[in-house]
Amino acid sequence: MIKFFRHIRKKLLSENKFSKYLIYAIGEIVLVIIGILIALAINENVKAKNNLELRDLYIIQLNDEANRNIERLKELNDFTIEMLKEVDTVLKILYTKDYDNPKLPPKAFLLMDTDYLNPTTVTFENLKFSGDLKLFDDLNLRNSISEPYETLNDVKVVEDLDFSGFEDYYFNFLIKNVSFFDMQLTSKSYAKEIHFQNYIIARRTSLNLNKEAYERSIQSFTKLKAIFAEIKKT
């Protein structure tokens, strides 16, 4: 009987010791899990902070890019407005059939002048192709960033149209019919040529399209800058 009680006592002590180890082991596991969760949280916070800093850097660069494009677009818009004035003068001369008007040769020569946009898009292209556009988690903001650069595609389309008209005029008519010396200094019968008159009309149309495209792009980039200014305030 005494042996039996001793066996029971030893078993209880052994089970009690096992329970303590089990509790200790569970505690260790819980501490490890808590440590992992804390490390993950710290890592996420660091990552979020780095992403925010990178996003802010992109905003600075995109804002600078917008300034560059707006400045160039305004230059081209001013150039186009002046060219339209020249075109209207030539059209008025042609409409009145005042072919001997001394203003015609220099102005007709001036209408060969062309200037086209070479946009700055490095930051946006890097943002798009690197996948960093996802740093801007607001879909509306992403669209606002992309929109101005999409207007540059429209600008290129109308500029190419303007240049193709100029190429046709220059290679298929001008160099075949008029010397540059005569073009600059004297009025000539070329003003009566239908090819010349059609080019002047077509150039007015293409210049108007350029002007509209430039102004839309300026407006879009200006809107983007305003959005960035609001972000900076928050």
- Residue 160 CA to residue 157 CA, distance in Å, equals 5
pLDDT tens digits for range 179-223 = 655 554 444 567 888 888 888 999 999 999 999 999 999 999 999
H helix intervals, the chain: 2-95, 104-110, 122-129, 139-169, 175-177, 180-185, 194-233
Do 86 and 213 form a contact (C-beta atoms < 8 A)?
A: no
Other Cβ atoms closer than 10 A to 153: 11
Burial class for 33, CB neighbours closer than 10 Å (0-12, 13-18, 19+): exposed
- Residue 73 CA to residue 67 CA, distance in Å, equals 10
- Residue 207 CA to residue 159 CA, distance in Å, equals 8
Reduced to 3 states (helix: H, G, I; strand: E, B; else coil), residue 70 is: helix
Choose between 127 and 22: higher pLDDT.
127
With CA atoms as reference, report the closest residue to 208 among 159, 169, 166, 164: 159
Q: Name the pTM for this structure.
A: 0.78
pLDDT of res. 28: 64
pLDDT of res. 174: 73
pLDDT tens digits for range 145-176 = 999 999 999 999 999 999 998 888 878 777 77
